[in-house]
Amino acid sequence: MKKVYSVCGMCTVRCPIEASVEGGRIAALQGNPHVPAMAGGLCPRGAAGTALLNDGERPQTPLIREGARGEGRWRAVSWDEALDHVADRLKSVMAAHGPRAVALSDRGGPFRDLHRAWLRGLGSPNYVNHDASCARNVQHAHLSLTGLGRKDVAYDFAHSRHVVLQLRNLFEAVDVQEVNRLMGALEKGCRLTVIDIRTSVSATKAHDFFMVRPGSDYAFNLAVIHVLIKEGLYDRGYATRYIKDMPALAAFIAPYTPEWAATETGADADRLRRFVRRLAEAAPAVVWHPGWMAARYRHSFYVCRSIYIINALLGAFGAQGGLPLVNKPADVGRKGLKTFVDLFPAPKEPRADGVGWRYGHFDKGPGLAHLLYKAMETDDPYPVKAYIAYRHDPLMGFPEPERLQRIFDRLDLLVAVTFSWSDTAWYADVVLPLSTYLERESILACKNALKPFFFVRQRSVEPCYDTRADWQIVGGLARRLGLPQLDFDGIDAIWRFQLEGTGVSVEDFDATGMVPLADAPLYRDREKLKFKTPSGKIEIVSELLEKNKIVSLQPYEPLPRPPQGMFRLTFGRCALHTQGHTVNNPLLYEQMPANVLWMNTMAAKALGVADGDRVEVAQNGYKETIKAHVTDGIHPEAVFVVHGFGHTLPVESRAKGKGLADNKFMAGGLDLWDPVGGAIAYQEHFVAISKADNK
């Protein structure tokens, strides 16, 4: 039995795995046993990787569209014809509009360097990822306080004494290592608090659960800061050393008492005070998680920022059991991987989404996808006419899919690189089928951590169909577009290029799939922390924000309540599915074929709806039906669905027609976004609910 160490690709966590291979077939999958926090485990999605591999309903060969977009008429072609076609169309677009007219989006992550380099080599600045629909508000909040990116700190769950989950459903949006570390901490006495609008799986494991009114998280957090300062519960020595503008924060927070917050959130004032006191007792070994999918409201940036301020007041930044700073290779005396993007100069053209020039307070890295789509729609600041969606499905992941289709109709070329069908792939001009993660190698990657390491995704088995690895697709396009720097003779040549000067060889990955760069986790000296702000401290009043005429401390403004007879539409994750990417997976479909609509018991009773009834969901004349899950475990102002359902593609026989697509109930949603954090405001939409014909 051959053991292959690789990286899961069933979601964006990318857990380290071990594939057992016999006779050219996957016999078993498990978490990499050499990673203690994996404990050999995988989440349900990871365990269903073989079902993806063997799924006959995924794209099996390159396809070129023959009919109208979305009509589903395709011509199967060879790889040479497909890549020639894409390259020729790209050349035509660039000849007419320049390289800046080409854009690429992906799902981010550690393996994006090669295709980002390809786009830069063309001369385009227009790379974006999906983060506008996920954690951009978190990133920008952290930058505004510390000058560091959100991934420059770790969540040290294993050593924490109190963990707070808000905007983060850790036990359903599963990172196996985080789950195991937190479970281990809970067994040792760590306290867990969850703040949510419903009783998620995470909430069922909490010592304290606050069910708050949808959209009131900021009010709750302001009251927490009030208690920490008013009662002197914050770390005064740490604040003196590392926090700038404490007087401004104290003055700002004065009116936001727990009694005031109770009127906004529904959380009892005395319970809130007791929670804050327990939190302070555990400091600095506290993790108040800033969230994953924080693209919710137009003020979500300030929710995330308030979370980081609370962590700072408790002294958690840099602390064991808190938010210690991660280490890059240079921090442990090692050289990092060579990057492909450094082979080309940075494009001089401004970004089409306005990030970095029209919006000076945003991080330029992955930009903002919804603003890129706006540029495609308006040709402002210039035309964007070719778009490659690289393992990204904006037609499922963003509001107003019909409007997005009209925007994409303005493109001269839409290419989908994907290992499964998606709404965006179905609407594309060309589908380039990516081999599944079990059939492909990827470029090497580095994980910055307390103990940083390099890791590899290796090919476990040969492709079942006529699909290719990402390095093969990028290399084929690079060859045709005059970018020989990215046209490597095999994956070994790519890996050797990346490892030049690191002192690590390709063979060093054979034993475990990873190469550690330090002997043990390294915590920085908490007495010598340095933040990347002008003052070197955590800055409550941000120079970057204020320079762009944005207030650092935003007074609370309540969100509108749902109109009479309507509910706020909310959505989230479950452990069985990765948004819309896995609902057609044969094994996962069996476990959860459709989503249901969570409704509060009293709200449902008023409408004559019982548990299991079908209900009609409506907004602006658009309607769908779905089965109701009636429960006390959701706030009465909201309804909730698991995201990713409501597929309509004929090539997805299992998922077709199952469940409700939440993004179709977000009229005007592409224009509704957080102006400070940059992310879409997904949960500011209301729907009407009525009992449907249950015959």
Can you give the pLDDT at residue 565? 87
What is the number of helices (H) and of strands (E) in the chain? 22, 25
Taking the C-alpha atoms of residue 683 and residue 639, their distance in angstroms, rounded to an integer, is 11
Element (H, E) at 286: strand 286-289
Q: Which of 414, 377, 376 is nearest to 393 (CA)?
A: 414
Q: Are 598 and 629 in contact (CB under 8 A)?
A: yes
Task: Tell me the pTM.
Answer: 0.97
Can you give the pLDDT at residue 197? 98
Can you give the pLDDT at residue 695? 60
Can you give the pLDDT at residue 55? 96
In tens, the pLDDT along 94-126 reads: 999 999 999 999 999 999 999 999 999 999 999
**Dihedral (C-alpha) 383, 386, 391, 392: value to the nearest 10 degrees?**
30
- Burial code (b: 16+ CB inside 10 Å, e: under 16) for 250-288 equals eebbeebbbebbbebbbbebeebbebbeebbebbbbbbb
* Amino acid occupying residue 203: A
Q: Are 677 and 304 in contact (CB under 8 A)?
A: yes
Q: Are 221 and 307 in contact (CB under 8 A)?
A: yes
Please report, in angstroms and rounded to a whole number, the separation of the first and last CA atoms in the chain: 53
Q: Reduce the DSSP state of residue 576 to 3 states and report it.
A: coil
Taking the C-alpha atoms of residue 406 and residue 390, their distance in angstroms, rounded to an integer, is 20
- The H-assigned helical ranges of 205-257 are 217-230, 236-242, 246-253
| Regions of the chain with pLDDT less than 50 | none
Can you give the pLDDT at residue 579? 87
Can you give the pLDDT at residue 400? 98
SS3 content of the chain, % helix, strand, coil (to 5): 35, 20, 50
Taking the C-alpha atoms of residue 423 and residue 408, their distance in angstroms, rounded to an integer, is 12
Taking the C-alpha atoms of residue 130 and residue 346, their distance in angstroms, rounded to an integer, is 21
* Amino acid occupying residue 30: Q
Cβ neighbours of residue 626 closer than 8 Å, sequence gap 6 or more: 594, 595, 596, 597, 614, 615, 617, 641, 659, 660
